[in-house]
Structure 1
């Protein structure tokens, strides 16, 4: 039939109807596809990271850990596929009241099984005869791990690690690693940062604390020796190197580029600007918190980098090779600020105005 039977107005109306119908169908298909995508993602959230991998992995959940940090730790250890997805799954389930402690978890566990373990403080498929010391752990936390896996009390472990005679013995046994710098009266724990994060065999739960600790110190000595020439070339002492590495380690997350964080610290040091890193405030206070408040920044301590310029008197925890490498080979940037969003993403800025804008966008608006 010829279009001449239809006046121009009618033809235009017919084309408009077809266009509207097409757009309606198009958006319905998008909606259906989106719904299917959400359903697929949510179904995936309820599945194990790797159903065929039943290997037990030691995972430590420190006191005061937020849900975000717990989820990130699980992702870094391969226990869950995606930290953000696990976090929202936990919230959807109305869970989140998890227990601190040492866990032996597996990638074959479903998120629901992981939730039960963390909620009840239940260790699944316990790994006997092993000490798991995570990166970023402080001496007090390491003492708790040793106590949990041995016949020793946590307070007694900490006393043994800080015993003057033991510290001086370690200085004698590992002279290239532990120097007079650890005896600085401002340092809280002389051996803080010197017990390397790794998994250690423990066949005898009555083994002396000193022997356990020296194995960890010897491991740190072994690792640091790989960097001896580069540390010397940097102009830092080994103690300063471990201190700097610990600051990077404590600020880092699984999504963080440690080399960029190191560059921010270097840039601040060059212009005599305080490092202003929150983990030092928490270390100064001896507490674990989800958030550092403005009033906390006034806490009087040589470890508070909001009050004191330069590095802290000593490490604020142990550090792994990723953070050590970052200190020795930082990225070259002109950033002076960074912040981590609740999702664990890190944003960098050159100026305070840019930093405050990022804070309003990613922190303030999400509280």
Structure 2
């Protein structure tokens, strides 16, 4: 470049200073715009949440009768309150309950008001249930198969087992449930699943004011209980390496193997030890479920039964739950004990013996296996006496 085309140094300096000022102005304006936008969003969010916590209509309050089903968690309760016009937003209600660490909500029929704050509503819903004379009550024990649960329902209602099974196996109905329940996914519709809702029908006492409620009403009341547990432990479910469906499968094994609470967490630890080392779970209740018979003792031939539920033949967690677990077992599936054992043997009397090596396990099994033969023979004798009657 020739000398005539070069700018004087003072002009170059002034030009750079001018450009720097422009850049600073642009940066300053951008920062101010972002700060103002952030402040607007923050203020708007604060005002929205503040209004969501306040009464829906304090000046002209309206009394509204609301029924909270048994087993309802914050998510379900929030949805009911929003639908009834008692809170502005169900999600805000759910997060506010979590923020306040509130729990102990009671089922029942309440007379609430649009003049109540969210704190008022929470306090009222924790007071207790309104006593009702129930027309129908029955109890589902923990650890039962879905087919056993269906039989209990049939024995207490006018619905037959075939009618109930037709509902719980109906794909259209199942898809509608998947759309409505966060805990349910397409995993329940896998090709080799024996019963899609196995593990999801929570074992508990159920009370109904209707003498013969619809099958769907009964099923969804049971699903609500499991959904409530899912909601309460959603953070642990999300941080687990397994899906809720897989955790329920583990919980169902734990439920079938353990009688005492402390053993549920220890057995969970053993199952995790096996999973982490790619060892097959090899638990007998999965074989019994695969075959479809309540077996107390499994033979070598039983262990060869070809089914994705059979943990002697297939690695990993079974394709689905093998029973309906209780809350303690579900929690245990997410909180395994830190235990060194890789083997356990459950005795007839409920005692569980833990060992680290296969040789130790074999010695324990040889010592106590006869108890199960005696127990099975005793059960067979009782069934024969019942048949003879």
Indicate the TM-score class for this superposition, using the shorter chain for normalisation.
Answer: 0.5 to 0.7
* Maintained 8 Å contact 2:266/2:336: yes
2:309 is matched with which residue?
303
Corresponding position of 2:167? 160
Name the structure 1 match of 2:23: none
- What is the CA–CA distance in structure 1 between the aligned matches of 2:299 and 2:286, rounded to whole Å? 13
Q: Distance in 2 between matches of 1:342 and 1:318?
A: 21
TM-score by length of 1: 0.63
1:149 corresponds, among 149, 153, 156, to 156
Distance, in Å, in 1 between the alignment partners of 2:263 and 2:239 is: 23
TM-score w.r.t. the length of structure 2 is 0.59
Instruction: Name structure 1 gaps, 5 residues minimum.
Output: 1-126
Measured against aligned partners, the alpha-carbon deviations of 1:303-356 in whole angstroms (never above 9, x if no partner) come to: 000000001111111111211221221111111110112322110100001001
Looking at structure 1, the residues matched to 197 and 273 of structure 2 have their Cα atoms a distance apart, in angstroms, of 28
Equivalent residue for 2:265?
259
**Counterpart of 1:137?**
144
Within-5 A mapping of 1:179-328: 179-254=185-260, 257-328=263-334
Q: How does 1:96-107 map to 2 (within 5 A)?
A: none
Could you say which residue in structure 1 is the equivalent of 2:72? none
RMSD between aligned residues = 1.7
Q: Would the aligned equivalents of 1:262 and 1:331 in 2 still touch at CA under 8 Å?
A: yes
* Cα distance per residue 1:37-91 (max 9 Å; x no partner): xxxxxxxxxxxxxxxxxxxxxxxxxxxxxxxxxxxxxxxxxxxxxxxxxxxxxxx
In structure 2, distance between residues paired with 1:204 and 1:300: 44
Note the C-alpha offset of 1:363. 2.2
Write the mapping of 1:11-22 to structure 2, written as runs, cut at 5 A: none
Deviation, 1:255, is: 7.3
- Tell me how many residue pairs correspond in the alignment: 240
Alignment check: 8 A CA contact 1:246 1:315 kept:
yes
Structure showing greater Rg? 2
Contact in 2 for aligned 1:335/1:348 (Cα 8 Å): yes
| 1:100-156 per-position Cα deviation (integer Å, ceiling 9, x unaligned) | xxxxxxxxxxxxxxxxxxxxxxxxxxx962121111121101100110110011121
Q: Which runs of 5+ in 2 are unaligned?
A: 1-133, 374-389
Contact 1:245–1:324 at 8 Å: present in 2 too?
Answer: yes
